[in-house]
Amino acid sequence: MEEVIIVGAGPCGLAAAIELKKVGVNPLLIEKGALVNSIYRYPTYMIFHSTPELLEIGEIPFTTANEKPTRQEALAYYRLVAQRHQLRINSYEEVVEIRPHGSHFQVRSKDRFGKEREYETVRVIIATGYFDHPNRLHIPGEEMPKVFSFYQEAHPFTGQKVAIVGGNNSAVDAALDLERAGAEVTVINRRPELSPYVKAWTRPVFESMVNKGRIRMLYSSRLLRIEERHIVVDVAGEVQTLENDFVFTLIGYRPDRTFLHALGVTVEEETGIPCHDPETMQTNVPGVYIAGVIAAGHHANAIFIENGRFHGRLIAAHVAKSRAH
């Protein structure tokens, strides 16, 4: 019998595990991918918005020679944290079901070879993030192999006509990276302007590329259809057909609430926020906690590593108090 199982080994799941170890609980983390899988799937050369101290967990300093840390530095940092704190992590094992069983919970998982495992636990923490579940456009052609919901790096797209749907940081960063690699880039944004959240040091560079004609920017526009060699776009009410080789739909992500619904956790329909006590992070189902961006509901930008890393402290304090009784 496990005392606590944490579903997800991202930064917020790791932070929760560390805080629990401080109060005498050694939780098991089950992660369907690699350690901090969401960061691993970030663009290869991505630079964080945050300064390193805002990404620190487990009282281990995050050092970097730069003002903002890179993806590679973050991966190295979180590997170090997991090793130093000797966290129990089952990687490449996907939790497929969590169900109540008397006074505890049964957790069923499947490893990458299809072998099933079952665990029993007194408490469960859902720290699954949202990066694995991209938002969809729901348009014809979206399932074609030329369409991607994640951006990794520019090299494969040299000399190609690439369309990017979105107007936030991920779209802007990808557009600049692709343009530098020699892609012909078109950005399709449904808004009449860029998102106000675009990084201050990136915005002027992007706008300069647009003004120089090196990136085509289509505001107040919607992608209507994707074909093999072209796309159809509504540009401010005018339908245009553009030659195209690849499409990136970088329009954000949504949390997966499958486990919460199955466990009977109430989710507020309007906000998408699971019912929980913000002082303890326990949901309306005793013994079920949430940590990280899953607590943000529809507004994923409300919770990042910077504030989600503190959820574990609240959970650990509540678990310690419950154990004392």
Mean pLDDT of 121-147: 92
Domain 2-133+253-324 is found in CATH 3.50.50.60 = yes
Distance CA 292, CA 289 (A): 10
Phi then psi for residue 17, to 5 deg, are -65, -40
Per residue in 208-221, pLDDT (tens digit) is 999 999 999 999 99
How far the first Cα of the chain sits from its last, in Å, is 19
| pLDDT reported for residue 50 | 86
| Closest listed residue to residue 106, CA positions, set 262, 294, 280, 256 | 262
The predicted structure's pLDDT at residue 141:
98
Domain ranges of the chain: 2-133+253-324, 147-249
pLDDT (tens digit per residue) in 10-23: 999 999 999 999 99
Q: Three-state DSSP class for 84?
A: helix
Quote the CA–CA distance of 66 and 218 in Å, as a whole number: 34
Q: What is the pLDDT of residue 216?
A: 98
Order of strands, sheet of 230-235, starting from the edge strand that comes earlier in the sequence: 221-226, 230-235, 238-243
User: At residue 192, does pLDDT exceed 80?
Assistant: yes
Residue in 100, 95, 51 with CA at minimum distance from that of residue 73: 51
Q: Say if residue 195's pLDDT is above 80.
A: yes
For residue 325, is pLDDT > 80?
no
pLDDT at 234: 98
Note the pLDDT of residue 200.
Answer: 87
Please state, in angstroms and rounded to a whole number, the distance separating the CA atoms of residues 119 and 106. Answer: 6
pTM higher than 0.75 for the full model?
Answer: yes
What CA–CA distance (Å, rounded) separates 129 from 38?
A: 8
Over residues 75-84, mean pLDDT: 98
The pair of three-digit structure tokens given for residue 34, joined into one six-digit string: 């690699």
Using pLDDT thresholds of 50, 70 and 90, give the confidence band for residue 302.
low
| CA-closest candidate to residue 176, choices 200, 154, 201, 192 | 154
For residue range 157-180, what is the model confidence (pLDDT) as tens digits? 999 999 999 999 999 999 999 999
Do the strands 161-165 and 147-148 form a parallel or antiparallel pair, or are they unpaired?
unpaired
Cα 222 to Cα 219: distance, rounded to the nearest angstrom = 9
Architecture of the CATH domain 147-249: 3-Layer(bba) Sandwich (3.50)
Within this chain, domains 2-133+253-324 and 147-249 share the same CATH topology: yes
CA 295 to mean position of chain CA atoms: 13
Q: Measured at the alpha carbon of residue 171, what is the angle toward residues 169 and 177, in degrees to the nearest 5?
A: 100
Q: What is the CA radius of gyration of the chain?
A: 21
pLDDT in tens, 99-124: 999 999 999 999 999 999 999 999 99
- Beta strand 116-126 pairing with 288-290: parallel
